[in-house]
Copies of this chain bind each other. A is one copy, B any other.
Amino acid sequence: MENFEFQNPTRIIFGRGELDRAGLEARRYARKVLLVTGMGSVKRSGVFRQVADSLERAGVEFVELQGVRSNPVISGVREGIRLVREERAQAIMALGGGSVMDTGKAVAAGACLRDGDPWDFFTGSRVIQEALPVIAIPTLAASGSEMNGYMVITDEESGHKLAVGSPFIYPRVSILDPSVTFSVPGDYTAYGGVDAVCHLLEPYFNGPAPFTPVQDRLVEGLISVILEATPASIRKPDDYNARAALMWSATLALCGLTKAGVGTHYFPVHLMEHALSAIFHVPHGAGLAALLPGWMTWRSETHPGKIARLGRRVWGLEAKDDAALSHKTVDALRQWLGEIGCPRSLRDLGITGKDYRKIANNASFQASIWGIEQDYGVETMVTILGYCA
């Protein structure tokens, strides 16, 4: 176990019916909030009305930033900042999936800038020093943004999709009502499960610490839950138990706990997926599903041990040696992805060899910002993408 610091200040309110507390929770921070939403699903499902009513009952005004798309863009963030300033909103309430929450966080930090542009946070040329309070109400079990200090935004001009973290953008409170996710369709339920699995597996595979039994057990346990809860949620969308299990495990998957102590690590599958999303606009979880089995196969050629152990502990697999077992593990993962209707290769997304270099070039920009271009240079990434064919 490597030395680490861990703190997660977000307060979680979890359970059926808790959405009605949105107004009173908002009032702890603001008399007027910017209410960030996506493409309208919360309006169709009635969740927006429920939150708006709660705000009204609590005497909290709101101004809306609507229409945040998946792979959210910096121009939307700028628009949100303009609204906050114009309307003098004092806090951000993000009601939606990861894109909405990440936009909310970026607005919260950007609204405190005296000068300069919020994209500077992502390129690393400016550090977040403060942020308005963020209240998150996730409507999708996926990104974990509701309980962490990260956000991912795309600059539509340069085509770069970049992540940044700061202690200032942890939501002060997040309200997680699993019944809100009943209306999430099967494909996005699956993508959310895959996203959470990736958040767990990338530090599990990529941390340098050789002995991390606590972290490993937490990861293996949460993955076991997600492997069951995702298909159960797809089969029966209003299965509260399954939705609750998926939602809480997806939240914990990126709350920092499973990564603390594994040492400096990075998220190569996410890195390449961000390039995929930025170029081809595939849903994040679909891109991850297309890349993860291939990346694991590539990885197992040099580091089969941990992949084998995942198969042993999570799927109960056995084989003559770690190399064989790691391949069986990838097969088991691939089978699960198939069962929940996900792509399992780049081909499944219609992406072929001629695009690999373009993807790798885009991803290499992120790799340079993260300082990992020596491990994930363009040629290496082209090779890995070949494994994902």
Interface string of A261-290 (1 = CB under 8 A from B): 100000000000000000000000000000
Q: How far is the CB of A257 from chain B (nearest CB, A)?
A: 8
Q: In the complex, which residue of chain B has the Cβ closest to the Cβ of A15?
A: B3
Given A6-B14, A9-B7, A261-B248, do A225 and B229 touch, yes or no (CB 8 Å)?
no
Interface string of A1-22 (1 = CB under 8 A from B): 1111111111111111110000
Q: In the complex, which residue of chain B has the Cβ closest to the Cβ of A172?
A: B7
In the assembly, what is the distance between CA of A222 and CA of B222, in Å?
12
Contact of A244 among B1, B14, B221, B248 (CB under 8 A): B1
A322 on interface, CB distance cutoff 8 Å: no
Residue count of chain A within 8 Å CB distance of chain B: 39
Contact of A248 among B5, B9, B214, B248 (CB under 8 A): B214
In the assembly, what is the distance between CA of A196 and CA of B10, in Å?
25
In the assembly, what is the distance between CA of A214 and CA of B11, in Å?
18
A224 on interface, CB distance cutoff 8 Å: yes
Are A224 and B228 in contact, CB atoms less than 8 angstroms apart? no
**A positions within 8 Å CB-CB of B:** 1-18, 211, 213-214, 217-218, 220-222, 224-225, 228-229, 241, 244-245, 248-249, 252, 257, 260-261
- Starting from the known contacts A213-B245, A257-B257, 10 additional A-B residue pairs (CB-CB under 8 Å) come to A1-B15, A3-B17, A4-B14, A5-B11, A6-B11, A6-B12, A8-B8, A214-B248, A218-B218, A218-B221
